[in-house]
């Protein structure tokens, strides 16, 4: 290759060495570079001529810059790189064709701080790939890195412009149309074209982007749910994102409609996701790797019926769970069945289980339950996994968004794994008043499989002081059960007494109270109007001054 040299003049002033400004320090003095020509450069002594650009995260400065131009001789993708050939932490920017020095602000086309892994390991050098059109001229800017506590960097090296060997669909604008079925792909030499997704557990573990990505477009002909899967069909650690809306390419963080890092049950950190598709709407499928990982494989697009979403998928719609006595629990009465299969994941402000060891990211399927402590200061939870290979985290909340303080209440989080499919856990130091709580049961899909289970909440079922568990009446009958509107309570009293009937829901909240005054000795029949109760399980307590009996019934 031909070498093109840029020489810097050394000046000596007041016994201090400094460098003169490079000839191409100003944008107006940009030097032309040619394809396949190695260019020596120095940014030592340069000023900062160009604007800041929002393409480097929170720190968007590009100090100590110098300038070049390139006029494309081909249609395709060009690569401009000082990867491993510079001695300092660099940044580079390529501007859109036709942009002049007078209108640089807001016109950054492609930019790069630290190139692929090999570049980052070599003094944090840079590399950018972008699409070019024959005859179009592009401004190229090469500068350094700076931060609040780090001085601006500058240095020397070489830079080279070549025709890239990246994939055909390396950029969103060049997305290949995909169809239902199987597609073979290759991400080797791909660059990163799409947006980052900070604070999204889909893209955690220190990398908030889909690195080295390629793009497909997909326009379904009918409404439905689409499964996009590279599960167990790739050679590298994949990531996926589906976009639509906005102004199209390039997309922004808010245009993401579905994402996945590691699919549930997928080997080698491969990916799988579902998204709801609308006929005639074009979706852009972004496929890349974690941490710049690249490779090859196949993926499938399938019109499918996903697992049903559990009824208690949302915190605001929990399933009610009742506390049962230890004796009833031993007989497996009062069990609550559930599943984390098909649960959705809302990643905004997600609160990780406090007993989770790695909170750098991940996707979860979670479901919700509600119970009332009934004034018990301890409540035992007996959890039984019915899917041997599944794993779960169980933690407790005061309200949606407010986890129980684990420094005050013990036993607020525990895990269940395939090695221990039955777990007993006890909440301790609860307040001695009846209080509502929420239970979240979740599976971390990034590493574990969801599954089916059942559990029991075990404690004293009634804390009424001064009333013994003694029968109020003989031959107590409640019918019909289940009841729609009117129920009959029939019983025999040994003597005349005053009786109160109270109805409680599974949260321990009183739903109905009926005083029955001066009941006669002998057989009594009482008609109860339960039509205003909502559907669900209830507990009816028949109380006298010193006695109590309980009847469980279901309201249709």
- CA 4 centroid distance within chain: 49
90 compared with 464, residue with greater pLDDT:
90
Tell me, letter by letter, the H, E, C secondary structure of 311-322.
CCCCCCCCEECC
What are the backbone angles phi and psi of residue 82, rounded to the nearest 5°?
-120, 30
According to CATH, what is the number of the domain 319-458?
2.60.120.380
Give the separation between CA 396 and CA 398, rounded to whole angstroms: 7
DSSP 73-93: SSSEEEEEE-TTSBSS-EEEE
Strand partners, 393: 415, 442
Calculate the dihedral angle through the C-alpha atoms of 383, 387, 390, 391, rounding to the nearest 10 degrees: 0
Residues in the chain: 556
Backbone angles phi, psi at 142, to 5 degrees: -125, 120
Bigger pLDDT: 482 vs 300? 300
CATH topology of domain 172-304: Jelly Rolls (2.60.120)
Whether residue 262 is predicted with pLDDT greater than 70 in this model: the reply is: yes
- Please choose, from the candidates 372, 412, 421, 350, the residue with its C-alpha nearest in 3D space to the C-alpha of residue 392: 421
Do residues 541 and 504 touch, judged by C-beta distance below 8 A? yes
- pLDDT bin (cut points 50, 70, 90) of residue 441 is very high
Confidence of residue 232 (pLDDT cuts 50, 70, 90): very high
Tell me the per-residue pLDDT of 475-531, one tens digit each, with 9 for 90 and over: 888 899 888 899 998 888 888 888 888 888 766 677 887 777 678 888 888 899 998
Region for residue 327 given its phi and psi (left: phi exceeds 0; alpha: psi -120 to 50; beta: otherwise): alpha
Cα–Cα distance, 202 to 358 (Å, whole number):
14
3-163 and 474-555: identical CATH topology? no
pLDDT band at 532 (very low <50, low <70, confident <90, very high): confident
What per-residue confidence (pLDDT) applies to 30? 96
- Tokens, residue 269: 């950190």
Residue scoring higher pLDDT (553 or 170):
170
Contact 324, 333 (CB under 8 A): yes
Would you say residue 270 has pLDDT above 50? yes
Return the domain boundaries, the chain: 3-163, 172-304, 319-458, 474-555
**For residues 307-316, average pLDDT:** 91
> Highest mean pLDDT: which of 7-11, 202-206, 329-333, 453-457?
453-457
Q: Give domain 3-163's CATH architecture.
A: Sandwich (2.60)
pLDDT at 63: 93
Instruction: Report the pLDDT averaged over residues 268-297.
Output: 92
- Regarding beta strands 176-177 and 211-218, do their DSSP bridges make them parallel or antiparallel, or are they unpaired? parallel
**Cα separation, 159 vs 475, whole angstroms:** 95
Mean pLDDT of 66-80: 93
Span 221-233, average pLDDT: 93
User: Which CATH number describes the domain made up of 474-555?
Assistant: 2.60.40.3080
CA distance readout (Å), 417 to 41, 313, 389, 447, 449: 58, 21, 8, 12, 10
Residues 38-53 have a mean pLDDT of 93
Q: How far apart are CA 328 and CA 359, in angstroms?
A: 38
């Amino acid at each position: 290759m031909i070498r093109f040299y840029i020489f810097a003049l050394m000046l000596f002033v007041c016994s201090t060495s400094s460098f003169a400004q490079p000839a191409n320090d100003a944008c107006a003095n940009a030097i032309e570079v040619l394809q396949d020509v190695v260019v020596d450069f120095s940014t030592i002594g340069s000023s900062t001529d160009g604007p800041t650009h929002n393409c480097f995260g929170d720190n968007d400065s590009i100090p100590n810059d110098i300038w070049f131009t390139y006029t494309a001789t081909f249609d395709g993708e060009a690569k401009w790189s000082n990867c491993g050939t510079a001695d300092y932490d660099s940044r580079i920017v390529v501007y859109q064709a036709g942009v002049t020095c007078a209108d640089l602000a807001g016109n950054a086309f492609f930019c790069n701080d630290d190139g692929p892994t090999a570049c980052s390991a070599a003094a944090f050098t840079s590399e950018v790939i972008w699409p070019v059109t024959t005859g179009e001229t592009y401004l190229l800017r090469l500068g350094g890195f700076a931060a609040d506590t780090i001085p601006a960097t500058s240095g020397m090296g070489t830079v080279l412009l070549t025709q890239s060997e990246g994939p055909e669909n390396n950029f969103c604008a060049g997305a290949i149309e995909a169809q239902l079925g199987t597609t073979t792909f290759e991400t080797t030499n791909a660059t990163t074209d799409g947006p980052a997704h900070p604070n999204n557990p889909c893209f955690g573990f220190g990398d908030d982007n889909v690195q080295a990505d390629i793009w497909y477009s997909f326009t379904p002909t009918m409404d439905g749910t689409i499964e996009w899967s590279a599960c167990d069909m790739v050679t590298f650690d994949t990531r996926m994102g589906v976009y639509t809306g906005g102004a199209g390419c390039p997309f922004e963080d808010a245009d993401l409609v579905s994402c996945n890092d590691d699919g549930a049950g997928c080997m080698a950190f491969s990916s799988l996701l579902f998204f709801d598709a609308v006929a005639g709407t074009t979706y852009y499928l972004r496929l890349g790797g974690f941490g710049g990982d690249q490779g090859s494989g196949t993926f499938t697009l399938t019109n499918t019926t996903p697992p049903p979403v559990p009824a208690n998928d949302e915190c605001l719609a929990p399933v009610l769970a009742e506390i049962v006595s230890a004796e009833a629990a031993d007989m497996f009465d009062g069990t609550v069945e559930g599943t984390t299969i098909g649960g959705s994941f809302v990643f905004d402000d997600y609160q990780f289980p406090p007993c989770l060891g790695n909170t750098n990211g991940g996707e979860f399927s979670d479901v919700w339950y509600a119970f009332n402590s009934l004034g018990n200061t301890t409540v035992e939870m007996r959890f039984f996994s019915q899917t041997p290979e599944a794993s779960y985290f169980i933690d407790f909340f005061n309200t949606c968004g407010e986890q129980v303080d684990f420094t005050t209440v013990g036993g607020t989080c525990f895990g269940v794994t395939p090695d221990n499919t039955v777990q007993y856990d006890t909440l301790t130091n609860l307040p001695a008043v009846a209080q509502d709580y929420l239970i979240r049961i979740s599976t971390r899909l990034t590493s574990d499989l969801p599954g089916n289970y059942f559990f029991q909440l075990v404690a004293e079922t009634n804390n009424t002081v001064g009333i013994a568990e003694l029968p109020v009446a003989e031959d107590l009958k409640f019918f019909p059960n289940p009841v729609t509107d009117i129920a009959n309570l029939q019983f025999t009293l040994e003597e005349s007494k005053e009786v109160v009937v109270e109805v409680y829901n599974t949260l321990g909240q009183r739903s109905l109270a009926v005083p029955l005054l001066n009941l006669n000795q002998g057989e009594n029949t009482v008609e109860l109007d339960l039509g205003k109760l909502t559907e669900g399980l209830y507990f009816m307590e028949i109380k006298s001054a010193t006695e109590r009996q309980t009847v469980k019934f279901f309201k249709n």
